[in-house]
Amino acid sequence: MTSIVCDRETVKVGSRVRVLFSDGEDEYTIVGGEEADAASRRISMESPLAVALLGHSAGEHVKVRAPGGLRSVTILDIASIY
């Protein structure tokens, strides 16, 4: 029997990530480009926010280079959708 290990330690494609911006909390799921749906908070792995979050862990502060400028984000929690 094969066991599946879900890595909740770092953000990756397939992670549901709860983040804190200066104006409040939000939750996003990082998916492939064809699965992205802004209304459902499913963001492409190529989006500026996803690129900034990938590989980081809960508790880390990351900088996001977005069209509106540089934003600071804190990763609050990570869960796997798989």
Query: Residue 19's domain is classified under what CATH number?
Result: 3.10.50.30
Query: Are 54 and 47 contacting, i.e. CB atoms less than 8 angstroms apart?
Result: no
Q: Is residue 26 part of a domain?
A: yes
Q: How confident is the model at residue 7, as a pLDDT?
A: 52
Global pTM value:
0.86
Q: How confident is the model at residue 67, as a pLDDT?
A: 84
Q: How confident is the model at residue 76, as a pLDDT?
A: 97
Paired tokens of 26: 């939000």
Q: Give residue-wise pLDDT tens across range 2-52.
A: 433 445 689 999 999 999 999 999 999 999 999 999 999 999 999 999 999
Q: How confident is the model at residue 4, as a pLDDT?
A: 38
Q: What is the number of structural domains in the chain? A: 1
